[in-house]
Amino acid sequence: MRRPSTAGAVCFWLVVVAWILPSGQGRGAEEIVRLGAGSYAVSLPPGAREPQQTIYKTPGVQGKMPTNDWWSSLAWMQYSERQYPHPLAVQATSQGLRIYYPGDSITANRAAIFGAMPAEGGGDLILGHCAGVEFPDARVDGFSDWFVCAAFAAGEHGLRVSYGHGSPFVYATYRGGSARVRFAKTPVIWSGNQNTPVLGVTVDGKHYGLFGPTGSSWSGLGSETLTNHPGGKPYFSLALLPDDSSKMLTLFRTYAYAHVTDTRVTWRYEPESGILSTKYSFTTKPYEGATTGSLFAMYPHQWRYASLDGPTTTYDSVRGTMKLGAGSSFTTRMAFPGVLPSLPDAGDYDRAVLDGYLNEEAERATAGVRDTYWEGKRLGRLATLIPIAEQTGNRQAESRLRDELNRRLAFWLTAVSTTESTATSTAGNPKSKGLFYYNQNWGTLIGYPASYGSDTELSDHHFHYGYFIRAAAEKARHDAAWAADDRYGGMVRLLIRDIAESDRRGRMFPFLRCFDPYAGHSWASGHAKFGDGNNQESSSEAVAAWCGMILWGEATGDRATRDLGIYLYTTEIAAIDEYWFDVHGTNHHADFPASVATMIWGGKGANGTWFSANPEAVHGINWLPLHGGSLYLGRYPTYAKKNYDALVLENGGTNWDQWADLVWMYRALEDPRSAIEQFNARPRNFVPEQGNSLANAYHWIHNLHVLGRVERTITADYPLYAVLRNGDRTTHVVYNMSDRPRTVRFSDGTEVRAKKRGFCVE
């Protein structure tokens, strides 16, 4: 969620000290943890806000509670909001788990694609307890990478359900009773009877299998409520069936008693081929029989890159067609498209003009400290400008930009008073001090001043902190000592771990807080307390964070962080291509005329933003910030043209009144000549988007004018690369981050000898 106006564990020597801020503010001592030259607070700064203290969990939950997940409302609320694991939708209620299949009810119009569960009282059925008790709450009782367990308890009666992404099953175990299934209307029973443990039923056109233990029976047939009598066996499951055939029911019965107990994603970047291999694994517990594995429905961004054998059964979802698979795991293989610290010095720009833009940026007066989002935007702007100034040889501008980046990073990565320039703080005013605070209860790092719910809702951390990480990577590119653990590296790694901890046993943060391994993209809201589920608007800001991790990992020699960034980056852009952009034209509903779904929710895809209905903002929010890791936006030039043409139509022409610089840069991915013409015709008083600059726009547009369009079919055996094609000429770009020359081999047979710490363009 975002509302703007616009790896592994590391051990550090930790020293806790007292920090007394300047006198006269009525503030007491605060505990500070030092990490080398950096530090963070472990007590809440006076006047600051933090998340609610209550976490709805059972004592059985181990580790820090995940936030920013599709099921997060379960941890933040007495019961939960509607959740969208797909193909099912579920909600915890006082009666048990409400279950619904939206697939055959998905609609669309110009505003959105709608696939949400109806409000309270609607749905297909409720899986509850035979005692008919009112449960006082529902609590998280366990979780894995894409499954969650919810516990309901009322005295001697208990119900524990588990469900997850892609699973057509809901599994249940009971205490003091058995399963009661209450339907929205009397179901049609087309297989089984009161003496069979398995029933095939249809309600409102949706087909379900109900799987009681062997030897169990049923009561209530012919009514809206069916009760299973298991003879003391405390397990049960139900499943959404693709059709009402006996063959399908038999297939699902084979797996119904193998309850999923763990789900796990693992990834491997293969430099020699430039391929990311991702494995999705299921662990099951057989309550009957010896079946292992499960049935699972894969999203388009998964099945498009996986090998599927035999006929494929499908479900409909708001994300498009989901395809049914079976087994204990499946693997996807995606090409990593490469990232760069910036575009190279290959454009046909006027050097004097570009230097003028750079000088304007270097001389720009900077305001006092702002919140983590807007401070991040400034850091991102600096990180983009510095390599441009470096390449053009504008040493004065480069030096001033680097000095500002250094000051700002040091200012934010220390929670103690430091001598800062008036560009970043006001002497003697503690409110001007930016810092990070660790909240032990939720296991999260919160930056203050906070904004857009980053403190109380834990929203948008990857958006905010991604800018800091990319700026730190730029600093590390030329100053390895700064990035060492005894300087500022420890704090940067802490920011990375907050948004993307890779150690499931980590003691400070949950695993991959902001990224959903199965959905393939990030979620922005920390609590997901919305009827449409969780959401993410600015997918491009998520990508910028993962790009920053790649650059940081390569600059510091941290292969684990680099490869984690590659996993997140590659997977997220695959999801963006499918669900935000629908570049293949197969996932968006036929009645949705827009060229982009700018906000992806669990239960819908919306054509709008949190903050503006302006067409430039609606499109541009999934482009910004444009940097050396943004070339993925041009991997499908036909789509880029479609999206741009739709923007022109919605805007009534090319008279842009917001973010025109972003529009020109996006346009350049498909037609750089048009972008140059529009850039040259801009008003004299033109002001770029706050995270961007005229220097970056000019440099980007003219580079693409020479280099051409992105060539997505060629990979390299080194991650900092790009391939572009202009007519018959293919250009291979490499930035070598190491202190030694390197030979980079491309999949088309080209070899490029790259000098140390520099670009090579061939």
Catalytic annotation, residues: 460, 537, 541
b/e string for 343-378 if b means 16 or more Cβ within 10 A?
A: bbbbbebeeeebbbbbbebbeeeeeebbbbbbbbbb
- Residue 377 is given by DSSP the state H
- Strand segments (E) across 176-245: 179-183, 188-191, 198-203, 206-211, 217-219, 225-229, 235-241
Instruction: Give yes or no for a contact between 214 and 288, defined as CB atoms under 8 angstroms apart.
Output: yes
Please enumerate in sequence order all residues whose Cβ is within 8 A of that of 68, keeping only pairs 6 or more positions apart, or say none: 458, 459, 461, 513, 514, 522, 523, 524, 525, 526, 528, 534
- Paired with 742 in beta bridges are 754
CA 755 to chain centre: 35
Q: How far apart are CA 443 and CA 353, in angstroms?
A: 48
CA dihedral 398, 400, 404, 406 (to 10 degrees): 60
Say which amino acid occupies 224.
Answer: E
Neighbours of 706 (CB within 10 A): 17
Strand order in the sheet with 729-736: 709-710, 721-726, 729-736, 758-761
Q: Which residue has the tokens 């940081």?
A: 552
Instruction: Give yes or no for a contact between 319 and 597, defined as CB atoms under 8 angstroms apart.
Output: no
Number of residues in the chain: 762
Name which of 566, 542, 477, 520 is nearest 273 in CA terms.
566
Name which of 99, 90, 98, 180 is nearest 133 in CA terms.
180
Cβ neighbourhood burial of 202 (10 Å; 0-12, 13-18, 19+): middle
Say which amino acid occupies 626.
Answer: L
Residue by residue, DSSP assigns 81-145 as --B--SS-EEEEETTEEEEE--GGG-EE-SSEEE-PPPSTT-SSEEEEETT----S-EEEEEE-S
- Paired with 150 in beta bridges are 140, 161
Name which of 722, 723, 658 is nearest 692 in CA terms.
658
Instruction: Give yes or no for a contact between 490 and 39, defined as CB atoms under 8 angstroms apart.
Output: no
Q: How far apart are CA 47 and CA 430, in angstroms?
A: 11
**Token representation of residue 227:** 């009760």
The H or E element that residue 475 is part of is helix 461-478
Say which amino acid occupies 25.
Answer: Q
**Token representation of residue 714:** 């060629």
What is the torsional sign of CA 389, 622, 617, 596? positive
**Token representation of residue 665:** 């840069």
Name which of 115, 148, 188, 143 is nearest 533 in CA terms.
115
Angle between helices 461-478 and 372-392 (to 10 degrees): 30
Q: How far apart are CA 665 and CA 680, in angstroms?
A: 13
Helix locations, 236-371, DSSP H: 246-256, 300-303, 351-362
CA-based radius of gyration for the chain: 27
For residue 299, give the 3-state DSSP assignment.
Answer: coil
Name which of 85, 87, 60, 59 is nearest 73 in CA terms.
85
Instruction: Give yes or no for a contact between 138 and 154, defined as CB atoms under 8 angstroms apart.
Output: no
